[in-house]
Structure formats: structure tokens, C-alpha cells
């Protein structure tokens, strides 16, 4: 049986963190966003009946089970596909790292929508510039610096964030770094110069056979100015 993944068509967004886990696991899945009626199918799912309605995508369907929220989906998939350690302590630590990545993603998103998500970027440019300057000069270095500390302190070595093998948190950190390099190339380069373990992890993940094949395929949606990571040069405070 295949998983069904529901997300907005035409962008990577938070659904990409789930796609990377499914691709690395070699798990069969149906990416509903790539289908002609993908948006309608997702809207029907969000507005449908049931005792546990999802608030927003991504949503993963596994038979009769529906899981929303990126971190919750990865918490669900991790032990089923060897993308998290076997012990409870390592599982909850990996989940904590994932939630920190989610915090970073939210801050990046809010650089171009600092006032309201219902407004266009063009309606909030002065506020966006103020927010982006703080994110580029303070928050990106702080987040990446923490991930650097985590890698350096890993008793199993700095290759992975948790334990001695890749986890879904490593895949998500790869996506965060890739997104930062797209959206804020100058600020990301400066922060990554100071966090070599993080930069090396990004490269290590990109070279894994299934991930490399996915990145080279048309299943990988390009970054664009409709998603979380958007390239507005005026917001890149290097």
C-alpha cells in the first residue's frame, strides 16, 4: 500500500520535508499535489468530516490513518522506515531537533510575510526588510550555530545529528540549508562558513543515492517565489 501525501501544488513548502523522508526510505507514495485535481483533493480533505480534521497541509494518509503537521508526520514515519534510532531517548531527541528546524522554517517564512500571510509581499516590504535583516544577521547564525553544536557534541561523531546513522532530522536540515542558500545566498554563505559540520552534512545528504536521484528528477519541485524560501535580493543581508 502506498502513502498519500497532500500538499499545495507548485511549491516545495513544508511538504518537501516529508517527501525527502519518503524518498530516502524508498517508500511508495502518491504525491497528490502533482495530480491535475491535487488542489481540489487537498481542499476536500481539509474540509471533510471526521473527528480529527487536519488544520493545514502537509497531510499524510496511511490507510485509515491521517497525520498532519510536518514534525508529527516524520515522527510517524521515522520508526517505520529506519529514519530514527531505536531507543526512546534518541527518538525524542530527534523529534526535538525537528521541532527546532520547524522554528527556523517559520522565521524564514516570516521574512517575506511579517505582518500577515493574507497580504502580498509587496504590501509589507518595509516590515519585511526589517524582519529579514534580523533573521539574516542574527537568527540564521544562531540556528545554524546550534545545529553545529549538536553535530560536534554527538558521541557517535559529527556526521549525523542523532546517533550513528542518518535520521529524518538530517534530511530536514539538508532542506533547511538548501532553502537558505536559495533565499539568502550571501547570508547563508556567511553563516555556513562558521558552521562547517552543518555544511558537510548538507553535502553528505545530497550524495545519498536515493536523495541524489530525487534531486535530479522532475519530482523535485524547484524553489520559487511561491514557497517558504523565496529569493528577494533586497532581503539578503549578507
Does any domain span residue 155? yes
The pLDDT assigned to 127 comes to 98
Does any domain span residue 53? no
Does any domain span residue 137? yes
CA distance linking residue 158 with residue 218, whole number of Å: 32
Which tens digit of pLDDT belongs to each residue from 187-237?
999 999 999 999 999 999 999 999 999 999 999 999 999 999 999 999 999
Does any domain span residue 164? yes
The pLDDT assigned to 49 comes to 84
At 109, which CATH number? 1.20.1050.10
**Structure-block grid coordinates of residue 64:** 485509515
Enclosing domain of residue 94: 88-209
**Total domains in the fold of the chain:** 1
CA distance linking residue 229 with residue 182, whole number of Å: 7
Q: Which of 203, 108, 197, 209 is nearest to 161 (CA)?
A: 197
Does any domain span residue 23? no
Pairing of strands 29-31, 3-6: parallel
Does any domain span residue 141? yes
Does any domain span residue 203? yes
Tell me which residues of the chain have a pLDDT lower than 50. none
Does any domain span residue 78? no
The pLDDT assigned to 138 comes to 98
**Structure-block grid coordinates of residue 128:** 519585511
pTM (predicted TM-score): 0.97
Amino acid at each position: 500500500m502506498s502513502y498519500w501525501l497532500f500538499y499545495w501544488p507548485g511549491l516545495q513548502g513544508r511538504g518537501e520535508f516529508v517527501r525527502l523522508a519518503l524518498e530516502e526510505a524508498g517508500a511508495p507514495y502518491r504525491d497528490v499535489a502533482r495530480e491535475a485535481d491535487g488542489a481540489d483533493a487537498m481542499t476536500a480533505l481539509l474540509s471533510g468530516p471526521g473527528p480529527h480534521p487536519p488544520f493545514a497541509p502537509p497531510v499524510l494518509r496511511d490507510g485509515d490513518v491521517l497525520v498532519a503537521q510536518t514534525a508529527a508526520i516524520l515522527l510517524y514515519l521515522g520508526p517505520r522506515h529506519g529514519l530514527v534510532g531505536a531507543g526512546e531517548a534518541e527518538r525524542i531527541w530527534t523529534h526535538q531537533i525537528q521541532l527546532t528546524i520547524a522554528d527556523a522554517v517559520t522565521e524564514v517564512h516570516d521574512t517575506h510575510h511579517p505582518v500577515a500571510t493574507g497580504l502580498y509581499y509587496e504590501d509589507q516590504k518595509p516590515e519585511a526588510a526589517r524582519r529579514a535583516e534580523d533573521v539574516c544577521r542574527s537568527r540564521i547564525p544562531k540556528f545554524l550555530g546550534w545545529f553545529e553544536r549538536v553535530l560536534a557534541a554527538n558521541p557517535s561523531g559529527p556526521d549525523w545529528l542523532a546517533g550513528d546513522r542518518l535520521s529524518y532530522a538530517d534530511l530536514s536540515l539538508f532542506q533547511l540549508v538548501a532553502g537558505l542558500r536559495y533565499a539568502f545566498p550571501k547570508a547563508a554563505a556567511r553563516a555556513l562558513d562558521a558552521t562547517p559540520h552543518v555544511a558537510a552534512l548538507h553535502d553528505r545528504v545530497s550524495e545519498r543515492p536515493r536523495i541524489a536521484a530525487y534531486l535530479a528528477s522532475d519530482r523535485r519541485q524547484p524553489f520559487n517565489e511561491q514557497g517558504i524560501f523565496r529569493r528577494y535580493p533586497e532581503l539578503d543581508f549578507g
